[in-house]
Amino acid sequence: MDATTLELIILPAGILAVLFALYLARDVLRRDAGTQAMQDVAATILEGAVAFIRRQYTTIAILALFGAVILTAVISLVDTQAVAETDIYGLDLGIRTGIAFLVGAACSMASGVIGMYIAVKANVRTASAAQRSLVEAVQVAMRGGAVSGFLVVALSLLGVYGMFVAMGGLEHPAQAPFLIVGFGFGASFVALFAQLGGGIYTKAADVGADLVGKVEAGIPEDDPRNAAVIADLVGDNVGDCAGRGADLFESTAAENIGAMILGVAVYGIALRLGWPNPQAWIFFPLVVRSFGLLATMISMFTIRGREDADPMGMLNRGYWVTTALSAMALAFVTYVMMSGTNGQTGANGIPIWVYFFGAGLVGLATSIVFVYITQYYTSGAWRPVKEIAEASKTGPATNIISGVAVGFETTAVTAIAIVIALFASFWLGEQAGLVNIAGSNVGGVFGTAVATMGMLMTTAYILAMDTFGPITDNAGGIAEFSRAESKARDITDRLDAVGNTTKALTKGYAIASASLAAFLLFSAYIDRVNLILLRQGRDLMESVNLASINVFLAAFIASMVVYFFSSLAIRAVGTAASAIIVEVRRQFREMPGIMDYTQKPDYARVVDITTRAALREMILPGLVAVFAPVVVGLLLGYEAVAGFLMVGTISGVLLATVLNNSGGAWDNAKKYIESGNLRDAAGNVLGKKSEPHAAAVVGDTVGDPFKDTAGPSLHVLVKLFATITLVLAPLFVR
For the CB of residue 492, give the shortest distance to a copy of itself in the complex, in Å.
26
**Per rule CB under 8 A, is residue 404 in the interface with a copy of itself?**
yes
* Nearer to a copy of itself (CB atom), residue 282 or residue 562: 562
Q: How far is the CB of 369 from a copy of itself (least distance, A)?
A: 16
| Choices 187-195, 404-412, 449-457, 726-734 (CB under 8 A): range interacting with a copy of itself | 404-412
Dihedral (CA of 455, 456, 460, 463) sign? positive
Q: What's at 589, amino acid-wise?
A: R
One residue of 160, 209, 511, 658 binding a copy of itself per CB under 8 A: 658
Q: Note whether 406 binds a copy of itself by CB under 8 A.
A: yes
- Closest separation in Å from C-beta 397 to a copy of itself: 4
Which of 540, 546, 595, 631 touches a copy of itself by CB under 8 A?
546
DSSP string, 577-622: HHHHHHHHHHHHHH-GGGTTTSS---HHHHHHHHHHHHHHHHHHHH
**Max CA distance (Å), the chain:** 83
Among the listed residues 402, 472, 610, 661, the single contact to a copy of itself using CB under 8 A: 402
Residues 357-396, mask of contacts with a copy of itself (x by CB under 8 A): ----------------------------------x--xxx
Q: Which of 335, 376, 382, 552 binds a copy of itself (CB under 8 A)?
A: 552
Least spacing, CB of residue 347 vs a copy of itself, in Å: 17
The whole-angstrom separation of Cα 299 and Cα 294 is 9
Pick between residue 320 and residue 556 the one whose CB is nearest to a copy of itself.
556
Minimum distance from residue 212 beta carbon to a copy of itself (Å): 9
Q: How many CA atoms lie within 13 A of 311 on its CB side?
A: 28
| DSSP category for residue 680 | -
Does 549 sit near a copy of itself (CB under 8 A)? yes
Q: Is 434 in the site for a copy of itself (CB under 8 A)?
A: no
Angstrom distance (rounded) from CA 467 to CA 446? 31
As measured in angstroms, the least distance from the Cβ of 310 to a copy of itself is 32
Backbone dihedral angles phi then psi of residue 442, each to the nearest 5 degrees: -90, -5
Residue whose CB is less far from a copy of itself, 167 or 646: 646
User: Could you tell me which of 713, 680, 418, 460 has the C-alpha nearest to residue 570?
Assistant: 713
CA atoms within 13 A of residue 720's CA, in its CB half-sphere? 35
Q: Which of 249, 309, 312, 257 has the alpha carbon at shortest distance from 283?
A: 257
Per CB under 8 A, does 336 bind a copy of itself?
no
**Residue 646 binds to a copy of itself (criterion: CB under 8 A):** yes
CB of 578 to a copy of itself, least distance (A): 7
Tell which one of 419, 435, 534, 540 touches a copy of itself (CB under 8 A): 419
Give the footprint of a copy of itself on residues 670-709 (CB under 8 A).
Answer: 697-698, 701-702, 705
Residue whose CB is less far from a copy of itself, 81 or 567: 567
Rounded to whole angstroms, what are the CA distances from 446 to 175, 378, 456, 720? Answer: 18, 33, 15, 21
Shortest gap between Cβ of 635 and a copy of itself (angstroms)? 10
Pairwise CA distance, residues 709 & 613, whole Å: 14
* Residue 397 within binding range of a copy of itself, rule CB under 8 A: yes
Q: Which of residues 464-523 bind a copy of itself (CB under 8 A)?
A: 518-519, 522-523
Nearest CB to a copy of itself, comparing residues 109 and 450? 450
3-state secondary structure 259-273: HHHHHHHHHHHHHHC
Footprint (CB under 8 A) of a copy of itself, residues 253-312: none
Task: Name the amino acid, one letter, at 79.
Answer: D
Verify binding: residue 651, a copy of itself, rule CB under 8 A. yes
- Residue closest to 342 by CA, chosen among 263, 271, 273, 272: 273
Which of 147, 190, 526, 615 is in the footprint of a copy of itself by CB under 8 A? 526
Kindly write down the DSSP assignment for every residue of 414-448, as one continuous string. Answer: HHHHHHHHHHHHHHHHHHT--B-TTS-B-HHHHHH
> Pick from 418, 495, 498, 726: which binds a copy of itself (CB under 8 A)?
418
245 vs 396, which CB is nearer to a copy of itself?
A: 396
Closest CA to 147 of 453, 373, 468, 591: 468
- Return the closest-CA partner of residue 647 out of 716, 556, 550: 556
Task: Confirm if 544 and 636 have CB atoms less than 8 A apart.
Answer: no
Q: Which of 84, 207, 246, 498 binds a copy of itself (CB under 8 A)?
A: 207
Among 19, 62, 298, 412, binds a copy of itself (CB under 8 A): 412
650 binds a copy of itself (CB under 8 A): yes
> How far, rounded to the nearest angstrom, does the alpha carbon of residue 602 sit from its chain's CA centroid?
34
Q: Is 713 in the site for a copy of itself (CB under 8 A)?
A: no
How many residues form the binding site for a copy of itself (CB under 8 A)?
75
> Which residue of 548, 599, 675, 677 would you call a contact of a copy of itself, by CB under 8 A?
548
Q: How far is the CB of 528 from a copy of itself (least distance, A)?
A: 13
554-613 residues near a copy of itself, rule: CB under 8 A: 555-557, 559-560, 563-564, 566-568, 570-571, 573-574, 577-578, 581
Distance separating alpha carbons of residues 392 and 403, to the nearest angstrom: 10
Phi, psi (rounded to 5 degrees) for 351? -55, 145
Taking the complex as a whole, the smallest distance from the CB of residue 19 to a copy of itself amounts, in Å, to 41
Print the SS3 string covering 178-240.
HHCHHHHHHHHHHHHHHHHHHHHHHHHHHHHHHHHHHHHHCCCCCCCCCCCHHHHHHHHHHHH
Residue 435 bridge partners (DSSP)? 441
Q: Minimal CA–CA distance to 243: which of 97, 109, 335?
A: 109
Among 332, 376, 382, 408, indicate the residue that binds a copy of itself (CB under 8 A).
408
Select from 191-199, 235-243, 316-324, 402-410 the region that touches a copy of itself (CB under 8 A): 402-410
- Window contacting a copy of itself (CB under 8 A); options: 175-183, 235-243, 595-603, 646-654: 646-654
Q: Any contact of residue 618 with a copy of itself (CB under 8 A)?
A: no
In the region spanning residues 155 to 174, those forming contacts with a copy of itself, defined by CB under 8 A, are none
**Shortest Å, Cβ 349 to a copy of itself:** 25
* Among 339, 343, 363, residue whose Cα is nearest residue 353: 339
Question: Considering the complex, what minimum distance in angstroms separates the CB of residue 427 from a copy of itself?
Answer: 9
Phi-psi map region of 485: left, alpha, beta (phi>0 left; psi -120 to 50 alpha): beta
| DSSP string over 80-91 | -TTT-SSS--HH
Site for a copy of itself in 94-123 (CB under 8 A): none
CB of 613 to a copy of itself, least distance (A): 15
Options 173, 444, 499, 508; binder of a copy of itself; rule CB under 8 A: 444
Question: By CB neighbour count within 10 A (0-12 exposed, 13-18 middle, 19+ buried), where does 415 fall?
Answer: middle
Name which of residues 626 to 645 contact a copy of itself (CB under 8 A): 642-643
